[in-house]
């Protein structure tokens, strides 16, 4: 509660300057689960997000495809695929180098999808801008290590970025991250509040050190503050009371 009080106190000081709000999805608004394709927002979250969007200039910043967030939450401002796709005011804009990488990832997916049959529990997702290898259901440690070696080889062969997260490894477009994406969107004459839970969100914290940055969960962080997942929604409801 101590950190939450400090966060609220800090936000109270900037609220009149109309801060922009940037929220991660998985691990921040909803828990991390082993079947990410069904990580649907519940009624309480839908209501909360609707209220936040009506009070703030709000963005959902995620590694997911824009279509996932629209399906789970509805039509909001979304920065998708770690900053490769911007869905703003109902219009979707891709970064200039997006199309060639979509072709490359389609090729990689077609050439690797068969290994799901060899490694029980492995799921491979073509996110139309990255390839996600979900290993949460792989029980055999040796299988995990072998899959990791295969993905490392793919990253090296195609000169693409490899990201390792909780039970996932992702091949994605190089030099694109949430931090630079948020910087592009921000109005630097206004403060920002940035909330996220994993390594991809650390890019946001590092690139926006003037913002109120909040890490969700344990571990080292570049964020100013940290709170547990269970306190995220209560904190966001408290934000609405400040206005």
**What is the CATH number for 119?**
3.30.70.1020
Q: Tell me, yes or no, whether 90 and 21 share the same domain.
A: yes
Q: Tell me, yes or no, whether 19 and 65 share the same domain.
A: yes
pLDDT score recorded for residue 2: 60
The one catalytic residue among 24, 197, 198, 203: 24
pLDDT score recorded for residue 1: 55
Q: Specify whether 24 is catalytic.
A: yes
Instruction: Work out how many domains the chain is built from and give that number.
Output: 2
Cα gap 225→211, rounded to integer Å: 11
CB 195, CB 216: distance < 8 Å: yes
Neighbours of 178 (CB within 10 A): 26
Cα gap 152→171, rounded to integer Å: 9
Q: Tell me, yes or no, whether 81 and 183 share the same domain.
A: yes
Q: Tell me, yes or no, whether 38 and 55 share the same domain.
A: yes
pLDDT score recorded for residue 9: 95
Q: Tell me, yes or no, whether 10 and 85 share the same domain.
A: yes
Q: Tell me, yes or no, whether 118 and 86 share the same domain.
A: no
Residue 220: alpha-carbon gap to chain centroid: 18
pLDDT score recorded for residue 243: 67
CATH code (residue 206) = 3.40.50.1000
Q: Tell me, yes or no, whether 215 and 168 share the same domain.
A: no
pLDDT score recorded for residue 238: 95
In the predicted model, residues of the chain with pLDDT beneath 50 are none
Which residues on neighbouring strands pair with residue 57, listed in sequence order? 20
Residue 175: alpha-carbon gap to chain centroid: 16
Task: Choose one of 146, 172, 198: the last residue of a domain.
Answer: 172
Q: Tell me, yes or no, whether 83 and 180 share the same domain.
A: yes
pTM of this structure:
0.93
pLDDT score recorded for residue 78: 98
pLDDT score recorded for residue 34: 86
Q: Tell me, yes or no, whether 85 and 185 share the same domain.
A: yes
Q: Are strands 57-61 and 20-23 parallel, antiparallel or unpaired?
A: parallel
The parent domain of residue 219 ranges over 1-95+176-240
Residue 58 region by backbone torsions, left for phi larger than 0, else alpha for psi between -120 and 50, else beta: beta
DSSP state of 43: H
pLDDT score recorded for residue 77: 98
Cα gap 225→223, rounded to integer Å: 6
Q: Tell me, yes or no, whether 38 and 60 share the same domain.
A: yes
Task: Choose one of 144, 172, 200: the last residue of a domain.
Answer: 172
Q: Tell me, yes or no, whether 144 and 222 share the same domain.
A: no
Task: Choose one of 128, 143, 172: the last residue of a domain.
Answer: 172
Q: Tell me, yes or no, whether 49 and 165 share the same domain.
A: no
Which residues are CB-contacts of 206 (< 8 A; sequence separation ≥ 6)?
Answer: 179, 222
pLDDT score recorded for residue 188: 87
Cα gap 83→159, rounded to integer Å: 19
């Amino acid at each position: 509660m101590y950190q939450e009080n400090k966060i609220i106190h800090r936000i109270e000081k900037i609220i009149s300057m109309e801060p922009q709000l940037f929220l991660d999805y998985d691990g921040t608004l909803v828990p991390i689960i082993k079947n990410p394709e069904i990580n649907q927002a519940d009624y309480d979250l839908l209501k909360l997000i609707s209220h936040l969007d009506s009070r703030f200039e709000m963005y959902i910043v995620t590694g997911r495809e824009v279509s996932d967030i629209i399906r789970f939450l509805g039509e909001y401002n979304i920065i998708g695929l770690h900053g490769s796709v911007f869905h703003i005011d109902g219009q979707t804009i891709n970064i200039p180098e997006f199309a060639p990488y979509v072709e490359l990832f389609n090729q990689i997916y077609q050439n690797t999808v068969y290994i799901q049959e060899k490694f029980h529990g492995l799921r491979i997702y073509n996110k139309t801008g990255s390839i996600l290898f979900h290993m949460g259901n792989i029980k055999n440690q040796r299988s995990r290590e072998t899959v990791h070696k295969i993905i490392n080889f793919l990253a090296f062969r195609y000169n693409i970025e490899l990201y390792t997260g909780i039970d996932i490894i992702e091949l994605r477009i190089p030099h694109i991250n949430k931090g630079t994406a948020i910087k592009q969107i921000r109005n630097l004459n206004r403060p920002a509040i940035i909330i996220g839970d994993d390594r991809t969100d650390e890019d946001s914290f590092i690139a926006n050190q003037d913002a109120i940055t909040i890490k969700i969960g344990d571990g080292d962080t570049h964020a100013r503050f940290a709170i547990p997942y269970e306190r995220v929604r209560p904190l966001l409801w408290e934000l609405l009371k400040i206005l």
